[in-house]
Amino acid sequence: MDGRAVGDGEHGVSALRHRTGRFALVVVAVVLGWQAFLALSAPRRVDAALAAQLEQGGSADIAVTLGFPPEDFHIRVFQTHGIVSGVRGTTVLLNRVTPENVHRISRYYWVQRINAQRSQS
């Protein structure tokens, strides 16, 4: 056997030499970059007064503003994080949202702003 088909074993196989390996590295880099973007941009979406309120613990009533009118999909997603009490234009009103769920909501790229709900009085 001359080693042409399987190689002679002296040269290691580099993942970067194969198209699949390069593609996998690009996919991993894109996913990690996207997650880094979400992690860095999420805190900026939460209003400072609401963040201070959440640090005290308990749940909060929040207003989540999107860049477009919410559709059924968005309402269903928000229902997994709290009680949807209404929609006003591009803002969804959520009640009894835990601090952890506010953080999860802030990581959705389509959320522009999260504020505490204003009283109706």
- Using one digit for the tens of pLDDT, what is the confidence trace for 83-99? 999 999 999 999 999 99
- Which tokens belong to 2? 């001359």
User: With the C-alpha atoms ordered 79, 41, 50, 90, is the resulting torsion angle positive or negative?
Assistant: negative
- Using DSSP's 3-state secondary structure scheme, residue 13 falls into coil
- Which tokens belong to 4? 């042409």
Position 21 scores a pLDDT of 85
Residue indicated by tokens 């002296």 = 10
> Alpha-carbon distance 94 to 120, whole Å?
14
Tens digit of pLDDT for each residue in 8-24?
555 555 667 788 888 99
- Which tokens belong to 43? 């805190």
Chain-centre distance for alpha carbon 63: 17
What pTM does this model have?
A: 0.74
Q: What is the mean pLDDT of residues 88-114?
A: 95
Position 20 scores a pLDDT of 87
Tens digit of pLDDT for each residue in 27-76?
999 999 999 998 888 889 999 999 999 988 889 999 999 999 999 999 99
- Banded model confidence at residue 121, pLDDT cuts 50, 70, 90: very low
Radius of gyration in angstroms for the set of CA atoms belonging to the chain, rounded to a whole number = 23
Enumerate the H helices of the chain as residue ranges: 19-45, 48-55, 72-79, 99-106
